[in-house]
Each structure stands twice: as structure tokens, then as C-alpha cells.
Amino acid sequence: MKLTMNVHLFIPCFVDQLYPDTAFNMVKVLEKLGCRVHYNPDQTCCGQPAFNAGYWDEAKSVGQKFLKDFHTYDYIVTPSASCAGYVRNYYGKLFDNSAVHNDVKLLRKNLFEFTEFLTDILKTTDVGATLNGVCTYHDSCAGLRECGIKTGPRQLLEKVKGLELREMDQVETCCGFGGTFAVKYEPISIGMADQKVGNALDTGAEYLISTDVSCLMHLEGYIKKKGINLKTMHIADVLASGW
């Protein structure tokens, strides 16, 4: 008899407020794969924006609540490599030599970005999705450099029926978002988005896909401003298509 796996959702602030369908689609895929999905409505931010802006005391306060909200021995899955990478790589520094040291170790052990949970824990690359068209994949800085995610999303996309994956030039180059970077250095950020979108278009792609809604939000803004015919999609939305 196959045991049902318990999974707790961590839905980042911007997904909750701006892209809730991505969260629902992640649930759709997880449930199809036999997971029992749980959601704690008390959850808020992981503290990354405050940490990146230099407000470490405030980030620590938010992080303490996050540790309380996600104190579990079950798996925790999020549709954001950025948030997962922050918790894994910086909570140890933020809570170094503190009373919650063991809680941080447990959280870092159990927290997974959505695609790596599918490929590394559930050991699956084919969820039965269908999406007709040509796509290209954007490696987010957090996904690639902080979480080490590279092949998994591509393996998942290659199994989507009707979808052709084409690699763009300079695929590992930043899109220009970088959180507050896009606000503080707007001209540079726009230039980087222009380069990324241009490389995507050169592949003939109809869809620009990533693990991070934050990157896609930035690129989507540029695409709409320029009136470019290119659709951005989070990979959870892709994997929930066609069934």
C-alpha cells in the first residue's frame, strides 16, 4: 500500500498577492502525484526583502515567526527558488548561535523548491502535462546559484507533450530583477531585461518559463511595455496544463 506524503505549502508574499493561480496549480500537481497538501494560513514573509535591504533585526523578527509557522518534520514546498535559497543559505547566519539553531537546521533540511521536490524527492519528471508551442527556460540566479537547480526543470519541460524546449544564449545571465536592485538601479535593470528578452525571442520561443515568479514579473513588465509577443509562465502553471 502506497503511503501518502504530507507536504506543507510555503507561498511567498508576491505569489499570494499577485500570482495566486501559480500556487493553486502547484497544489494541483502535488495532489495528482499523491501528496496530501497542507497550508498554514498564518504564514507571512520569510524576511528576504528586509534582509537584502540591510534590516537584519527586522528580518530576524520575521524569520522567527517563519520558523514557528513551519516547525514540522514533513516536507515544505515553495514555488520560489529565491525564497528557498534565502532560507537555506542565510537563516544559518541570521540565527547563528541562537536558541533556534536546531529549528533552523530542520527547516533547511525539509524546505524544497517545487521542481527539485518533484525530481529529487518524488523522483518524477512526467506529470502528464500538455502545452503546445515553443518555450525557452530562464535560470533564475537564486535557483541556479543558491539552490543548485539546473537540469530538473528542463527534464520536466522536456516531458510536457507538445512543448519544444530551446535554449537561449547567455541563459545563466541575470534578468535584472534582483529585488531592490530593479528599484535602485532601474536603467541597468531595464537593460538586462532587454538582453534577456532579446535572447529568448531569438530562439523563436512563444513561452518564457522559470521557477521564479519574481524574475517573470520583472520580464513580463518589460514585455508588456514593449508590446512584445512573448508569454511568461511559471513552471507550475506549465505542469498543470492540459489535464
CATH number at residue 138: 3.40.50.11810
Which of 52, 86, 120 is the last residue before a domain boundary?
Answer: 120
Judgement on whether residues 217 and 136 belong to the same structural domain of the protein:
yes
Domain CATH number, residue 65: 3.40.50
Judgement on whether residues 15 and 88 belong to the same structural domain of the protein:
yes
Number of structural domains found in the chain = 2
Return the bridge partners of 231, or none. 207
Judgement on whether residues 9 and 113 belong to the same structural domain of the protein:
yes
CA distance linking residue 68 with residue 55, whole number of Å: 20
Give the total residue count for the chain: 243
pTM of the complete model: 0.93
- E strands along the chain, which residues? 5-9, 35-39, 75-78, 111-113, 130-137, 161-165, 207-210, 231-234
Whole domain around residue 157: which residue ranges?
126-239
Judgement on whether residues 10 and 89 belong to the same structural domain of the protein:
yes
pLDDT of residue 178: 82
pLDDT of residue 1: 37
Q: What is the pLDDT along the chain (243 residues), one digit of tens a residue?
A: 355 799 999 999 989 999 999 999 999 999 999 999 999 999 999 999 999 889 999 999 999 999 999 999 999 999 999 999 999 999 999 999 999 999 999 999 999 999 999 999 999 999 999 999 999 999 999 999 999 999 999 999 999 999 999 999 999 999 988 877 887 888 999 999 999 999 999 999 999 999 999 999 999 999 999 999 999 999 999 999 999
pLDDT of residue 139: 96
